[in-house]
Chain A
């Protein structure tokens, strides 16, 4: 069977798997960004309790394996009465894991906004929330965008693990094809290429574009 024949026969399944992977990536990214923002801000809160919650969260999700977290969310949480459908469990696990890494990016970026910006905002008598939202965060976003590009590629690659709880993503599909046809090189070779293309030709250009938009908002482009 030539590679073209292979694609002709299994292209549909690879495509549908790819779409599931893209959807997982988009949803997990949004969740990761929301969690990163919340945990990053909580990490800097005045209250030691709030700070503590964020630290524990970040430590647990960065310090343990994504696969174990995925199994916890899918197999263990139901024992406590929280049952998630497998697709949901998949993107929630990936989003929560990468969100913990993102939290440190958020915190680092906020801390690297020059002190003078906080001081100018205080001198204008802005409330702490206004200072953060109107002055600090817009600048922190610009600072952390390049690192988010890398993180989102990690996230995309991380989504491959959800095949292990039978979410029908790209990895799941190629494993199935391999299982029935034993065309391992074709099946896993295609998966490599698709993940690479998604990372390099979709995520990277998208992040570059975002960076340019942000630079323009600073009048720098």
Chain B
């Protein structure tokens, strides 16, 4: 069991609640829960200082299964609730668990605003590209033309790209991982935790009941190395089972190239987490033409919202009298005897 932060000796089990987990057997949420519970002891902070806040949806059941403080709130509103908590209690580690419907449909507004404000909250968006809890309607990340119960003729909606949404909202940390990629997910969670500011992770999650196999090429042993492009800061963008393919920037466009004697790794694009233009280009890569990038698209620092707010409060306390008597006695006074 890995222990960080000195005296604290917590294990995965300490983060498991006595509640029966009620996701469908085989749901990708189990794997995510397991990784989160595994990572928590490594944060080196006591359980009582961790809060999980969610909205509504399959993913939003998450807080019930985490033996920390938890708040299962209302559809789409978790970022707002988390913002109020984090502003006033900056010492807490606040996590939001949301889904593609919760975070990008009904709660889209709150999501983009928490991202631009850079409140130090960790947001895990489980993207299964379907509505699970309400039994199988298309979601804002479903592919256009998707046939579901509510779209028997195929959905007319063009989908959101969650990474591009987050980048567009000026998020300071934007990453993608996959439910079954245990190690990658753990590493991404840890990086998110250590990022000072809002951290947004899109976690591709299989809903085996209503949208099974949505990410199969990314997770099947056979295909995944060709389908995933693992982003690593400062490293060339190489992928493929035999690590023989790469991404090049040519004429302002990204292209897949085969590595051979003519094209070497040195000629490939090198990932830079601080370059938002590059992050945006990478966010547009998708199957079948391209591999799907996973990893950290963007990581930059910017003062957090709560630090600015706390700073203003401390500054005001230094500069202005804080006695209520003076406050009430503002303006012209007169006495009646």
Are chains A and B native binding partners rather than an unrelated pairing? no
Residues of B within 8 A of A (CB): none
Residues of A within 8 A of B (CB): none
